[in-house]
Homo-oligomer: A and B are copies of this chain.
């Protein structure tokens, strides 16, 4: 062993360069720092030092507004969902349904639903089929039929561990080599660019139009597509996030139609990230599937070849069951052999979490009027919905008043994405620290207030513009005041 080398087999210079190139700011430096602050505050509380020490931080709580994680911010889970899940975890409870009903606030429909799911699934501790439990996929198909007014086939429904896992699957299939490209809106949720990096495929960015409330301009998309083709990119798909993340924009029907037509013309898969489909404040959500089916109906033969993947999740909406990792995607118009490869790819990871699958079923098939659990369900659902709107509005009103901040009215999703103007002097300091100006602003905000948001550079933004994304999930409005105060002081310091 005298010649044993002492080097590490793996170091930063020899690991996968594509992983290294990936960026994912939602859980990046800022988020890590905020967790350190949280741990520090918690330690002070749980293990008070002797002699007693003061909290040296200028805040008492950390507010994680960097990520749509409602239940971390005290959003209560919906009772019906959790009652059913508790019964699935411990089915012996079903032998005591009298106790459940009389002493523990369960309702008969929760008991019935749990019985039905257990009959269909067996145990939630068993692997399901790789595409998910057939009965749950059938339930999803019925939901889509009802939502859109067009048939859906459960064979085309794939349950997944959150929408993220679905995106990962689809991009793995679509990206064939380093010339494969996908049209991605900018700003975007960075899952898309990060996954393209890991796959060593190309991101073909198309900028959303802030001046029209982050609209999707077809000419911009076309230009971006043509530029990509000129670069030798084999453009495979177009991603649309509707309602938007981070923008919150809710697409009008005409934009959806335009994108489908464009995809049809140029043989692109349409990848519709519709995880915020129930988070809409202005107008109504219209699914890509519905518009595609209407186009197909009204123009026989013209759009039959279009391939659409639509993604949904239990993490968003009024459900917010992020930790359960559930979601699904529906494939429309996909080639059978391609679907077989998708099946094989997901089977390597065996199956999505089974309670997450059950949560999908509960989300898309909640108690109906007349059901024993309906009243409470409706109250909880509406309470969350109203709360989101109230807080979105409070935050919007506060942003409107801030110097150099520009913001459109909240339309949907869980985010606001204001433009900020950062004084020259602050930009200089940021540069000296090797940071983007928006990143510097967000770091200062975190250090001063304990509020964690994500700089616009983490999502992409037009050169020369600066933004940050904040969720409007944190309860109360006290923290909005913290932002206002910080912003004023920041501007005073650097103006």
Q: Point out residues on A near B: beta carbons under 8 Å.
A: 1, 3-12, 14-17, 19-20, 22, 24, 26-28, 35, 39, 67, 69-72, 77, 79, 82-83, 85-87, 89-90, 92-93, 96, 99, 103-105, 122-130, 134, 161-162, 164-165, 168, 172-177, 191, 194-195, 198, 236-237, 261, 264-265, 267-269, 302, 304-305, 307, 315, 320-325, 333-335, 337-338, 341, 344-345, 347-356
Q: 26 A-B residue contacts at CB 8 Å?
A: A1-B261, A1-B265, A4-B264, A6-B305, A8-B267, A8-B338, A9-B267, A9-B268, A9-B307, A10-B173, A11-B338, A12-B335, A12-B337, A14-B176, A16-B173, A16-B176, A72-B127, A77-B123, A82-B89, A89-B355, A99-B99, A103-B103, A125-B324, A126-B322, A323-B351, A325-B350
Contacts of A334 in B (CB 8 A): 8, 10
Q: Determine the residue in chain B with the shortest Cβ distance to A31.
A: B347
Q: How far is the CB of A309 from chain B (nearest CB, A)?
A: 10
Contact for A129 among B26, B35, B123, B194, CB less than 8 A: B35
Contact for A27 among B130, B161, B168, B323, CB less than 8 A: B130
CA separation between A264 and B9, bound complex, in Å?
9
Q: Determine the residue in chain B with the shortest Cβ distance to A314.
A: B125
CA separation between A348 and B174, bound complex, in Å?
19
CA separation between A344 and B12, bound complex, in Å?
13
Does the CB pair B85–A19 fall under 8 Å?
no
Each complex incorporates copies of this chain amounting to 2
Does the CB pair B24–A320 fall under 8 Å?
no
Q: How far is the CB of A493 from chain B (nearest CB, A)?
A: 32
Q: How far is the CB of A426 from chain B (nearest CB, A)?
A: 27
Does the CB pair A22–B345 fall under 8 Å?
yes
Contact for A127 among B130, B264, B323, B355, CB less than 8 A: B323
Q: Determine the residue in chain B with the shortest Cβ distance to A27.
A: B347
Contact of A17 with B176 at beta-carbon distance under 8 Å, contacts A161-B325, A236-B10, A344-B24 already known: yes
Q: How far is the CB of A181 from chain B (nearest CB, A)?
A: 12
Q: Determine the residue in chain B with the shortest Cβ distance to A201.
A: B16
Contacts of A161 in B (CB 8 A): 161, 325, 349, 353
Contacts of A321 in B (CB 8 A): 125
Q: How far is the CB of A5 from chain B (nearest CB, A)?
A: 5
Q: Determine the residue in chain B with the shortest Cβ distance to A35.
A: B129
Top 8 A-B residue pairs of the complex, sorted by shortest distance between their CB atoms: A323-B354, A86-B90, A27-B347, A71-B123, A71-B126, A72-B126, A12-B337, A85-B89
Q: How far is the CB of A51 from chain B (nearest CB, A)?
A: 27
Does the CB pair B92–A307 fall under 8 Å?
no
Does the CB pair B348–A194 fall under 8 Å?
yes
Contacts of A168 in B (CB 8 A): 349
Contacts of A86 in B (CB 8 A): 86-87, 89-90, 93
Q: How far is the CB of A351 from chain B (nearest CB, A)?
A: 7
Does the CB pair A9–B237 fall under 8 Å?
yes
Does the CB pair A96–B103 fall under 8 Å?
yes
Contact of A174 with B15 at beta-carbon distance under 8 Å, contacts A124-B324, A323-B127 already known: yes
Contact for A341 among B12, B103, B267, B344, CB less than 8 A: B12
Contact for A307 among B10, B304, B307, B333, CB less than 8 A: B10
Contact for A11 among B5, B85, B337, CB less than 8 A: B337
Q: Determine the residue in chain B with the shortest Cβ distance to A76.
A: B123
Contacts of A174 in B (CB 8 A): 10, 15-16
Does the CB pair A173–B348 fall under 8 Å?
no
CA separation between A354 and B315, bound complex, in Å?
13
Does the CB pair B265–A4 fall under 8 Å?
yes
Q: Determine the residue in chain B with the shortest Cβ distance to A130.
A: B27
Contact of A92 with B69 at beta-carbon distance under 8 Å, contacts A161-B161, A194-B348 already known: no
